[in-house]
């Protein structure tokens, strides 16, 4: 399994600067209205200090809002994932809202299996709307077919399933095409996170909101530029 790179996205704070104090303007205004040169110098100096303090007081809260706090991360700040080192067949885990989010680069063979034997699945067409965004309501349940992004928590009672991409292993049976197996009570999911019939888990694994920044970078917790 590759080393996992994970970092939170910057929190962009915007400010147009229109409400900031302008020391130069204050100086000019003071200078225009005081005739005595000595008194004028004193007032201009004082105005510069006051203007500078005003600028500092604006900058400090702005810097504070640009740093994602631990509380903001726990509450759901979006998480950026670098997929550049993820090779085919591997699974990368990133944490979002305290949950593991798996990114799996699927093989061509895996993608072919997703269309086979779908009658064994409880919700092959991802009709349960709560389990994925609209753009993941397709067979691979993803934006790009080869890359699955899914929350790694079993929809039965919340265990974390195991990633089992191996075909027909002895412990899972000859009809196992690769997927996720939850050892707690035996729920099985295919490599799209779709749950098999006859297991305790009621629904497919959940696909979180996400979007691509570029070919090798996704942001989990955002889609269409809006935090979920
Ligand atoms: S928690 Fe996964 S099968 Fe029960």
Instruction: Give residue-wise pLDDT tens across range 61-72.
Output: 333 334 455 666
Asked if residue 135 and residue 30 are part of one domain, the reply reads no
Flag whether 201 is in a domain.
Answer: yes
N residues, the chain? 228
Flag whether 16 is in a domain.
Answer: no
Asked if residue 126 and residue 27 are part of one domain, the reply reads no
Q: How far is the CA of 72 from the centre of ligand 1 (A)?
A: 29
Atom of ligand 1 nearest to the CA of 157: 1
Q: Which CATH number does the domain housing residue 189 bear?
A: 2.102.10.10
**Tokens 């077919």, residue located:** 145
Instruction: Give the C-alpha separation, 55 to 23, whole Å.
Output: 9
Asked if residue 139 and residue 39 are part of one domain, the reply reads no
Q: How far is the CA of 209 from the centre of ligand 1 (A)?
A: 23
Asked if residue 61 and residue 81 are part of one domain, the reply reads no
Please say whether the beta carbons of 141 and 124 come within 8 A: no
Flag whether 12 is in a domain.
Answer: no
Asked if residue 127 and residue 61 are part of one domain, the reply reads no
Asked if residue 104 and residue 144 are part of one domain, the reply reads yes
Instruction: Indicate whether 138 pLDDT > 90.
Output: yes
Instruction: Indicate whether 228 pLDDT > 90.
Output: no
Give the gyration radius of the chain's Cα atoms: 27
Please say whether the beta carbons of 159 and 214 come within 8 A: no
pLDDT in tens, 5-23: 443 333 322 333 333 333 3
Average pLDDT over residues 36-56: 42
For residue 49, the Cα-to-chain-centroid distance in whole angstroms is 43
The more confidently predicted of residues 67 and 112 is: 112
The reported pLDDT for the residue numbered 14 is 30
Instruction: Give the C-alpha separation, 99 to 163, whole Å.
Output: 16
Asked if residue 77 and residue 62 are part of one domain, the reply reads no
Ligand 1 atom 1: residue of nearest CA: 157
CA atoms within 13 A on the CB side of 163: 18
Please say whether the beta carbons of 9 and 26 come within 8 A: no
The more confidently predicted of residues 131 and 62 is: 131
The more confidently predicted of residues 27 and 212 is: 212
* Backbone phi and psi for residue 33, each to the nearest 5 degrees, phi listed first: -110, 5
The more confidently predicted of residues 144 and 47 is: 144
Pairing of the two strands 217-220 and 210-214: antiparallel
The more confidently predicted of residues 65 and 215 is: 215
Asked if residue 115 and residue 208 are part of one domain, the reply reads yes
Q: How far is the CA of 157 from the centre of ligand 1 (A)?
A: 5
Q: How far is the CA of 92 from the centre of ligand 1 (A)?
A: 21
User: What average pLDDT is seen over the chain?
Assistant: 77
Domain holding 146, by residue range, is 72-227
* Backbone phi and psi for residue 188, each to the nearest 5 degrees, phi listed first: -125, 140
The more confidently predicted of residues 32 and 162 is: 162
Pairing of the two strands 91-96 and 99-105: antiparallel
Instruction: Indicate whether 111 pLDDT > 50.
Output: yes
Pocket of ligand 1 (CB under 6 A): 154, 156-159, 182, 184-187, 200-201
Query: How many CB atoms within 10 Å of residue 90?
Result: 15
Flag whether 3 is in a domain.
Answer: no
How large a percentage of the chain has pLDDT more than 90? Answer: 61
> Please, which pLDDT band fits residue 27 given cuts at 50, 70 and 90?
very low
- Angle at alpha carbon of residue 227, lines to 221 and 228, rounded to 5°: 65
The reported pLDDT for the residue numbered 76 is 75
Asked if residue 188 and residue 77 are part of one domain, the reply reads yes
Flag whether 162 is in a domain.
Answer: yes
């Amino acid at each position: 399994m590759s080393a996992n790179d994970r970092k939170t996205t910057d929190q962009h704070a915007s400010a147009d600067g229109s409400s900031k104090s302008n020391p130069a303007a204050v100086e000019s205004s003071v200078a225009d209205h005081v005739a005595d040169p000595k008194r004028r110098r004193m007032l201009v100096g004082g105005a510069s200090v006051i203007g500078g303090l005003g600028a500092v007081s604006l900058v400090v809260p702005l810097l504070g809002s640009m740093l994602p706090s631990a509380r903001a991360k726990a509450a759901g700040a979006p998480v950026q994932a670098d997929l550049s080192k993820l090779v085919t067949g591997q699974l990368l885990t990133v944490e979002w809202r305290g949950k593991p989010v798996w990114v799996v680069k699927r093989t061509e063979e895996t993608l072919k299996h997703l269309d086979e034997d779908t009658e064994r699945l409880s919700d092959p067409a991802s009709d349960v709307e709560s389990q994925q965004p609209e753009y993941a309501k397709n067979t691979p349940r993803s934006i790009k077919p080869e890359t699955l992004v899914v929350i790694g928590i079993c929809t039965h009672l919340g265990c974390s399933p195991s990633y089992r991409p191996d075909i027909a292993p002895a412990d899972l049976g000859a009809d196992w095409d690769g997927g996720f197996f939850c050892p707690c009570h035996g729920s099985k999911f295919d490599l799209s996170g779709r749950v098999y019939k006859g297991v305790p888990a009621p629904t497919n694994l959940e696909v979180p909101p996400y979007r691509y920044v570029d070919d090798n970078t996704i942001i989990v917790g955002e889609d269409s530029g809006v935090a979920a």
